[in-house]
Amino acid sequence: MDVPLCVPDVTDADVARVVEVLRSGWLTHGPYNKQLEADFARYMGVKHAVSVNSCASALYLAVLALGIRGEVIMPSFTFVATANAAVTAGATPVFADIRYDTCNIDPAAIEAAITSRTEAIMPVHYGGQACDMDAIMTIAQRHGLAVIEDSAETIGGEYRGKKAGTFGIGCYSFYPTKNMTTGEGGMVVTDDDALAERIRTYVGHGISSNTLAREKAERPWLRAATLPGYNFRLSNIQAALGVGQLARLDEMNTRRREHAAWYNAHLVEVQELLDLPVEADGCLHVFQMYTVKLKGVDRTAFLAELRRRGVGANVHFDPPVHQQPYYADLLRQRRFDLPVTEQVSVSIVTLPIYPGMTPAQREHIIASVRAALLNARQVA
């Protein structure tokens, strides 16, 4: 039996909505963008949501629009897009260590990394679980720092009843492996009116009114750039898919949580060989990924056996960003002491999880994990 790492949950209604847009002729930024942004802002409990073509663009625009040119504290245990956003916008990433239990950035490590050049904190909500936002916001307020949340992996996750990504400026991904998808795509959310308008302007070539608004204007041919912008727009086709996905987000997240609970119940007997994911106090974990940390097990052999059995397991993230060639060279004069990051990066494994997993697939994964642990333990 083959079980992929992730399968997007796309319904017939999603397909029909996309076909409707294709037949309408309005394929670029259009009416469904407006609906998706309004629905997303309402769901997150914020004033503004701006659709973009990726979470990478969302993070970049947040740094750019805030005018950050100094240091941005973030975890190294993340996808490289987090650091890329800071560098390409003219800022400097500074890496702080993570907590072993949640794989989220450690507030104590943030505090220790602050210098006179620090301008922002970029926490990454790892794998479906929010960071300790009480501690992070307290640090940010004490030092006068902006907070840009990389919530690519935690759409719908909560911290003490508040949605991840709504404490500072929130950035989300709609990549096919995420909790909802538009294929490629993302969103920026904020309660700051001026910041939202600035980001919207950057998204559409630096022109402050979008194509749809111009079409309804008295003189739709007028296009005057007020900023040197980009084309970071999400298409109407993608937004149409996103509208249906968002409407089912809580349902899909509930199924992810059910799968994770089932995994935990059936892997507890092998905990001497792996550490299971935890749900931190005050958090609603939405399990964009289900990860385990191996103990005394050869990870390469473990993954090879899983894949031989058709289980599409993977690793997120190895190497961590500070060990990747560009960043190792860029920041070579600054040494980062990240023992937990380095421990986790060489031991973590992501198992398949997605809303449509069947009981038979889950049983196959558990049987395969047990067999792979035995095989890899003998090699280790």
- 74, 95 Cβ separation under 8 angstroms: yes
Global pTM reads 0.96
Catalytic residue list: 178
The answer to whether the CB of 188 falls within 8 A of the CB of 171 is yes
Report the distance separating Cα 20 and Cα 295, nearest Å: 51
pLDDT (0 to 100) of residue 171: 99
In this structure, the strands spanning 290-294 and 348-351 are antiparallel
Whole-number Å distance between alpha carbons of 291 and 304 = 17
pLDDT digits (tens, 9 = 90+) for 331-360: 888 889 999 999 999 999 999 999 999 999
DSSP 3-state of 100: coil
End-to-end CA distance of the chain: 27
| DSSP secondary structure letters along 297-318 | S-HHHHHHHHHHTTB--B-S-S
Catalogue all structural domains in the chain, each as residue range(s) with its CATH number: 12-248 (3.40.640.10), 250-379 (3.90.1150.10)
| Ranges under pLDDT 70 in the chain | 209-218, 378-380
pLDDT of residue 221: 73
Residue-level pLDDT at 212: 56
The pLDDT assigned to 332 comes to 87
Q: Which helix (H) or strand (E) holds 120?
A: strand 118-121
Per-residue b or e along 120-141, where b marks 16 or more CB atoms closer than 10 Å to that residue's CB: bbbbbbbbbbbbbbeebbebbe
* Residues making up the chain, counted from first to last: 380
> Residue 216 has what pLDDT?
61
Q: What is the pLDDT of residues 159-173, one digit of tens each?
A: 999 999 999 999 999
Burial of 278 (0-12, 13-18, 19+ CB in 10 A): middle
What pLDDT was estimated at residue 380? 44
